[in-house]
Amino acid sequence: MFNHLALVDLMGGLGNQIFQLNFANYLKSKGFKVYINLEWFSSDIFDDGTTKRSLHLNPLDFELETAEKLITDKFFRFENLQNIKVINKLNIPIFKNTYHLYTGHSFDEENKKKYSRFSGYWQNQKYLRGQKNYLINSLGKNSFFNQNLIKPNQKTLIHIRKTDYVKLGEELSESYYTNAINEILKENKEFKYDIFTDEKNPSSYSNLYKHAENVFINSDENPIITLSKMMNYKNYIIANSTFSLLPAYLSYSSDSIVIYPEPWFKQTQFFPPVEKSWKRIKNN
């Protein structure tokens, strides 16, 4: 019999889904009975402008259980009760101690409830630590992932994210990439790189694209295929995106160079779950 039950919402793109399943496994290791909530993918209306995404991962591959409607209804009943103003004013201890909705990237583990719903992204080094083999083994149960995972080459992967980041004002400057390349050149004069990007029509005048050996535009490709291809590199210059942070994390070794931008975002403060050995370059 479990003393603590957790409902973890799965939502967003592939990178977010991996972080959420990873967090669910962390909760499982802490003694929670964990259920995965997939209802987000059934919705077509997002008031906050969120982009509709597809479910790419099977929770069973991660040894996690998908919540049936009976389970989600139970959690939502507690949530609805807590949202009733009259009940809140009465300040009944049993309601406060029974259920809580957690959001964001962390939660207070000393303040566990009987029923806890986790609706966030959980991109926190604390939850990622020690989970590398678990994630690789779980992803390896997906045939799309295995088909494209090969022995890493000696080249560097550069990830450039544009599309939605341009609208949000969060795209990285070209100087970030130039400075990152110069950093790797200090240690490797035979520097060669490929670019992965969501930019539909990269500028032919950009030196960054001119000197790339290959440019891969991941528009309609299954993101699991793209993710596995991105893991076939030794070094990484990542964007401020989990879509390149995760391949770097899952495939880097002691002699790899991984470079990330600082700050991660311009509009909001966020501390990415990066390794101590990774190098940061200013994003001006």
Could you give the angle at which helices 14-29 and 223-230 cross, rounded to 10 degrees?
A: 80
d(C-alpha 88, C-alpha 96), whole Å:
9
Domain that holds residue 173: 143-282
pLDDT at 179 over 70: yes
Q: Are 170 and 278 within one domain?
A: yes
pLDDT band at 49; cut points 50, 70, 90: low
Q: Are 21 and 83 within one domain?
A: yes
Q: Are 247 and 272 within one domain?
A: yes
Q: Are 177 and 277 within one domain?
A: yes
Q: Are 147 and 277 within one domain?
A: yes
d(C-alpha 118, C-alpha 79), whole Å:
12
CATH number for position 211: 3.40.50
User: Which of these three, 101, 128, 155, is where a domain ends?
Assistant: 128
Percent of the chain topping pLDDT 90? 70
pLDDT at 122 over 90: yes
User: 97 or 137, which is more confident?
Assistant: 137
Predicted pLDDT of residue 88: 60
Residue 134 lies in a domain: no
Residue 26 lies in a domain: yes
Average pLDDT over residues 218-227: 89
pLDDT at 121 over 90: yes
pLDDT band at 206; cut points 50, 70, 90: confident
pLDDT band at 117; cut points 50, 70, 90: very high
Q: Are 111 and 156 within one domain?
A: no
User: 48 or 200, which is more confident?
Assistant: 200
Q: Are 53 and 172 within one domain?
A: no
Q: Are 16 and 113 within one domain?
A: yes
Q: Are 241 and 172 within one domain?
A: yes
d(C-alpha 20, C-alpha 246), whole Å:
13
Average pLDDT over residues 199-217: 88
pLDDT at 251 over 60: yes
pLDDT at 45 over 70: no
Q: Are 105 and 206 within one domain?
A: no
Predicted pLDDT of residue 73: 94
User: Which of these three, 128, 163, 194, is where a domain ends?
Assistant: 128
* Residue 38, token pair as written in the block: 């997939």
Q: How many domains does the chain have?
A: 2
Q: Are 159 and 240 in contact, with CB atoms under 8 Å apart?
A: no
Residue 133 lies in a domain: no
pLDDT at 191 over 60: yes
Predicted pLDDT of residue 48: 56
Q: Are 124 and 163 within one domain?
A: no
| CB neighbour burial string for 24-40, b if at least 16 within 10 angstroms, e if fewer | bbbbbeeebebbbbeeb
User: 179 or 219, which is more confident?
Assistant: 179
- pTM listed for this prediction: 0.90
User: Which of these three, 67, 97, 128, is where a domain ends?
Assistant: 128
Sheet with 115-118: strands ordered across: 65-66, 33-37, 5-9, 115-118, 99-102
Residue 57 lies in a domain: yes
Residue 136 lies in a domain: no
